[in-house]
């Protein structure tokens, strides 16, 4: 549900969302089963079914405080800074091209339950900003996306 709400918040239309999810479920289920079992929930997330509520994407705090994801559950209910052990987090950061000094710093913050600080440093590293360059902590996955898009737009307009 969280990933669907995240995609909604970044501007994916209901129709695009239905196509996205059907495509990703297709190897496991056919179109008819998708319509019966999943399309209603997707339309519900967009306020087109049920009580027609406008659901918000989960904040970092909600993701961190909720039950940890199950094995193989990587659909947005997971904060790598909270839900990965130090060794796995180090490997993820290394795979992202983060410098070893920054990896140590990020893992240290995550290990001490400062997940927003760890994420914010990661954001700075990924966007080649000095530490604290964003000027605030990341507190929502959509904030991470929006700030990334702003930085990308600025750098694209300079070219």
Query: What confidence tens digit (pLDDT) does each residue in 5-23 have?
Result: 999 999 999 999 999 999 9
22 occurs within a structural domain: yes
pLDDT band at 66 (very low <50, low <70, confident <90, very high): confident
CA distances from 148 to 10, 72, 124, 134, 142 (A): 12, 27, 10, 10, 10
Q: How far apart are CA 45 and CA 145, in angstroms?
A: 20
Q: Are residues 13 and 65 in the same domain?
A: no
Q: With 80 as the cut, is the pLDDT of residue 75 above it?
A: no
Q: With 60 as the cut, is the pLDDT of residue 72 above it?
A: no
Q: Are residues 40 and 102 in the same domain?
A: no
Q: With 70 as the cut, is the pLDDT of residue 69 above it?
A: no
Q: Are residues 33 and 64 in the same domain?
A: no
Structural domain for 85, as ranges: 60-158
């Amino acid at each position: 549900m969280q990933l669907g709400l995240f995609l909604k918040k970044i501007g994916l239309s209901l129709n695009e969302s239905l196509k996205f999810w059907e495509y990703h479920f297709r190897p496991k289920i056919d179109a008819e089963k998708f319509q019966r079992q999943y399309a209603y929930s997707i339309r519900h997330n967009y306020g087109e079914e049920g009580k027609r509520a406008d659901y918000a994407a989960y904040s970092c705090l909600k993701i961190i405080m909720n039950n940890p994801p199950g094995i193989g559950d990587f659909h947005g209910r997971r904060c790598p800074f909270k839900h990965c052990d130090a060794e796995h987090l180090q490997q993820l950061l290394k795979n992202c091209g983060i410098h070893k000094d920054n990896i140590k710093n990020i893992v240290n913050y995550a290990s001490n339950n400062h997940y927003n600080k760890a994420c914010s440093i990661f954001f700075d590293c990924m966007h080649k900003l000095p530490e604290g360059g964003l000027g605030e902590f990341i507190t929502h996955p959509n904030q991470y996306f929006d700030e990334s898009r702003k930085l990308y737009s600025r750098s694209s307009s300079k070219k």
